[in-house]
Amino acid sequence: MTSQIPVKAQNAPTDRAAEVLGGPVSDTSLRRYLEGIPGVDAVGLEARAASLGTRSIKTTSKARALDTIISLIDLTTLEGADTPGKVRSLVAKALTPDAADPTCPRVAAVCVYGDMVASAVDALGASHGLDTAPGGINVAAVATAFPSGRASRSVKLADTAEAVAAGADEIDMVIDRGAFLSGRYGEVFDEIVAVKEACRRPDGRYAHLKVILETGELNTYDNVRRASWLSILAGGDFIKTSTGKVAPAATLPVTLSMLEVVRDWYRLTGERIGVKPAGGIRTSKDAIKYLVTVAETTGVEWLQPHLFRFGASSLLNDVLLQRQKLSTGHYSAPDYVTID
């Protein structure tokens, strides 16, 4: 895992995986590689996560941290009762998080079900797209029979293609946890590759693919590490902890484990992959722990929307509250060890 392999980021996933695996991609070669990855020292991982969780940025930089958190949020509504009106309200909040403060940054994206993508795109108007509009906001769509992933591959690919055709900039897919836990790594790999291809637009560009591991169902840190490597080998642009529908969702140790994989992949190939913890991150206090963990593990260059996101529905409200308290002077910083 430490040798340098000249993998090009623009290579097709199967070509990229073949270079890393040292030969053709197959269920056997994937199993040999993934099961050869050193096991996770669970005690050490949890101790490091706990240590990072006691640190904070300096009080004088807290305002910047709160703004950074806002800029990294995927503001989410994923309920069966979602309507176009609810999505429009979500977009309004994403565009103007604090109506009383025009300096408040916008979130990175809104995340909705595929059938709500058109409503989100329409509501965003000229502000649609992080890459195309100043202060723009992406539209992310959950797909592939989210959250269970229990559907035929043809249904999953159609789900993805329809969301991309409707204007989704990002697709959040779920892996087949049953196949993964049964050791059918080739099946999981092939499905991610196929979904990645379904993200292709008519102009040849691709919607970004976030691969949801559903870590609460993977049971061990070793499985989280293997699933992270498998998802990146198959072409995922991001690895994401959870759907938010299964407990436990995002945890600091699990996210740290995924960040370590992303760090190691960068050292191996020179390619940067994103990480998205999702589910259960509700307070600015908790979000700051994740910022510190990212900065200490992969580096501060990962603290930008194309490399790190928070999947959240209620986090924004607490961050805005803390931001308002800080600006009025009625804010008491937590008693953490501070780091530069």
- For the four alpha carbons of 91, 95, 100 and 105, in that order, the dihedral sign comes to positive
- Residue 135 burial class via C-beta count within 10 angstroms: exposed 0-12, middle 13-18, buried 19 and up: exposed
Q: Which residues have a Cβ under 8 Å from the Cβ of 177 and sit 6 or more positions away?
A: 149, 214, 217, 218
- Choosing from 159, 169, 172, 237, which is the catalytic residue? 172
- Choosing from 62, 156, 196, 276, which is the catalytic residue? 276
DSSP 195-254: HHHHTB-TTS-B-EEEEE--GGGT-SHHHHHHHHHHHHHTT-SEEE---SSSSS---HHH
Q: Is 276 a catalytic residue?
A: yes
Q: Is 172 a catalytic residue?
A: yes
DSSP 125-193: GGGB-TTTSTT-BEEEEE-SSTTTT-S-HHHHHHHHHHHHHTT-SEEEEE--HHHHHTT-HHHHHHHHH
Contact (Cβ atoms closer than 8 angstroms) between residue 262 and residue 273: yes
CA angle 63, 130, 153 (to 5 degrees): 120
C-alpha torsion 52→57→59→62, nearest 10:
-120
Place of tokens 């790999």: 189
- Choosing from 240, 264, 289, 318, which is the catalytic residue? 240
Closest-CA residue to 236 (of 216, 215, 263, 206)? 206
Contact (Cβ atoms closer than 8 angstroms) between residue 233 and residue 263: no
Helix, coil or strand: residue 79: coil
The residues carrying an active-site annotation are: 172, 240, 276
